[in-house]
Structures are given as structure tokens and as C-alpha cells.
Amino acid sequence: MAEEGQVLGVHTVDAWNEQLQKGIDNKKLIVVDFTASWCGPCKFIAPFLAELAKKIPTVTFLKVDVDELKSVATDWAVEAMPTFMFIKEGKIVDKVVGAKKDELQQTIAKHISSTSSA
């Protein structure tokens, strides 16, 4: 498994379920980037997301390609790319649609501060 402070690519439904379960167990905030290889804004925001992952190792950052994991994208009602889902203990607590750096950063900050730190 990759170290802390990285965006983890999730390529199978099993891996997805494993990450969700891990998030439930360790009560960490999970930020999922639903992306697509053909999506320009997704490419634009990727380096920014990687920076955030380095800066905030207490948050789990996942990347899901909607073409690769269609069933996951469908289950989570993803309609536009990029969509960032904020998941806490298996539930969606927030969502940012589009490559909006400020909104993404603010939403992460909001949910980190509402989590009691271990």
C-alpha cells in the first residue's frame, strides 16, 4: 500500500470497498476524486490534489477513474468530472463538483476541524 500523503489510485471494486472499510475503521476523512482520462479539468486539478495529500496526511485521498470503475461511479451518483466526494465513516458528508481549488481546500479544512483529532 502507498505511504501516507499520497493520492491512491483505486482500480478495482474490491480495493474501493477495502478503502471505505479502512475509513470506517480509522474514522479518517476520505476525499475521493472521481476523474476521467479524457477530462481536462481533472488533469488541471490533479497536481493540486497531490499537494494537498502531501500537506494533510491525516486525510485519505483516493482517485477513481469513472470509466474504469463504472459501477462505483454509478453507485455514488457521479455525473460530472471531476467530482470530489467527502466520505466519513462510510457516508457522504460533502461534495464538490468541478476543478475548484478554493472550494476543495475549504471543504477539507471544514471537515478536518469538525473531526476530533486522535
Residue 39 among the catalytic residues: yes
**In terms of DSSP bridges, do strands 7-10 and 60-65 run parallel, antiparallel, or are they unpaired?**
parallel
Q: Which one from 32, 39, 73, 87 is the annotated catalytic residue?
A: 39
Least Cα distance to 81 among 23, 34, 18 occurs for 34
Give the single-character DSSP code of 106.
H
Q: State the Cα angle at 74 between 72 and 78, rounded to 5°.
A: 95
Residue 70 among the catalytic residues: no
Residue 88 CA: distances (Å) to CA of 25, 29, 49, 94, 113: 10, 5, 18, 9, 13
Q: Which one from 29, 42, 59, 99 is the annotated catalytic residue?
A: 42
Residues annotated as catalytic (active site), given as ranges: 39, 42
